[in-house]
Amino acid sequence: MALWDTIWRWLRSPRPRASAAPAPALQPLDVDRLAAELDLAGEARRLGEAGLPRADATALSGPEARVLQQVEQARHAAIEQAARRLAVIDADLARQDLAARLQHLAEADREFEREAQALVAERAPVLRALRDDARAGRTELERFAARHRLHRAPDYPSASARLLLAGLLVLMVVLEGVANAFFFAQGLSTGLVGGFVEAALFAALNVLVAYLLGRHGVRQLAHVHPARKLLGLASLAAALAAMTAIGLGLAHLRDELGTGGGPRATDAALHALLDAPLALAGVSSWALFGLSILFATGALADGWKSDDPYPGYGRAARRAHLALDDHAAELDELRAALADLRDEHVSRLDEDLGHVRAGLAVTESLLSDKRATGTRLQHALDEAARVLQALLQRFRTDNEMARGDAPRPPRFDVLPPLAPLEVPGIDLRADEASLARDRQALAHVEGQVSVVRARIYAAGDRLLAQLAVDEAGELDAPGLGIARASDEATAAPGSVETAR
């Protein structure tokens, strides 16, 4: 059993990897230990003293048969384990698939172009729909400008400018409320706080009325239709009248509060406004009136500046601009996706090149392992034959010494034949030829990898350029062109130009 255990341990030892040290050589078998385990000396003396085996015996004695059986089992086990090892090595060699990797490296630029074109085709429906929306918005803006005889770019504030105008409107309400509070406080029992609350309500009314008339009414003065112009003129007159009435009303309210009008000061101020609108008590009342007119005028200008001076022109331009921005954002996203795909393929090119180099090293190690497996198998078979000879020779010598005068069997001079075995063939010629082809292909690819990388970049740039030309060609047309803003600041007046 010791021979079998030794061969079994050797064959079960893990095969070396590319970075592992070579497998250690097979240690010599211990014939003495095997002889002790089979008790060959004792069996030889026992049989020899009994004159066995007989001189004319042709069959092996029991101890000899057991030795032969142990050796044959070890030989069969060695071949079986070697076959398994070779199968594992062949499977590992097949998994390397270096030819496919090398082919992929050589065609990396064409693969990128196919994937990039597929990506563009996948996103094309969304891009086309957004482009149609952008074209429709541009057409609507051009028709609006032609219908209303406009030969200038829309002049509307950007989102940040509109936010600033809204903030100024609120600031005017607060400032007018604070200023009026000092005039109202002396006539209210609640003092300055009460004066501010009541003054803020009137200030909000004053500012909001002027703002709304400036935003929606007075702007009609710029309209080409005469009726709309009349509406704008009426709105301007209404704005002036509202500003004057509210200012005078606030001034009369201040007069009534100053004379102790109390809770009925508002009614008294209204009667005074209707009976004698310009009969104010003093300079403070006129100052309050002037302050109200000032803030109302500012609110009117704020409303006027909140959009393009021509009614509806700014709204049409913003719709066109928004559609163009949506299309441009989708186009930018597609460009970014193409750039990411390009970078991914360039990175994968370098990774695949490293994998092929590592794969060649692994293949060389596997072939070395395969060659060593055949060598170790042959050594194991030769060692088994040597051990058989040594064990039988020891048994027969001890048996002869114990036989005394009994003649020895002539067959002691002949070793029993070992059974023929089907030893797995180890032919490395095809594997070595494949490895040589892979090395040659790798050398060629290494010389071309910079060219392939440049082709990937060139294909990406070409596709991006073609995409830009196609999209620009679809949107550019004679008439009112729209330039996309790069940020909020460029969306200010003048972002849409009129073709002369």
Return the ∠ at Cα 156 (arms to 150 and 158), rounded to 5°. Answer: 150
Q: How far apart are CA 388 and CA 391, in angstroms?
A: 5
- Name 496's bridge partners: 482
- pLDDT tens column, 238-285: 888 888 888 777 777 766 666 655 556 666 666 666 766 676 777 777
Give the pLDDT band of residue 2 (cuts 50, 70, 90).
Answer: very low
Alpha helices, H only, 157-264: 159-185, 191-212, 226-258
- Across the chain, mean pLDDT equals 77
Chain center to CA of 313: 42
Reported confidence tier of residue 198, pLDDT bands at 50, 70, 90: low
Q: What is the CA radius of gyration of the chain?
A: 52
The residue among 204 and 121 whose pLDDT is bigger is: 121
* Phi, psi (rounded to 5 degrees) for 149: 55, 45
Residue 322 has pLDDT above 50, yes or no: yes
Whole-prediction pTM:
0.56
pLDDT in tens, 388-423: 899 889 888 888 888 888 888 888 888 888 888 888
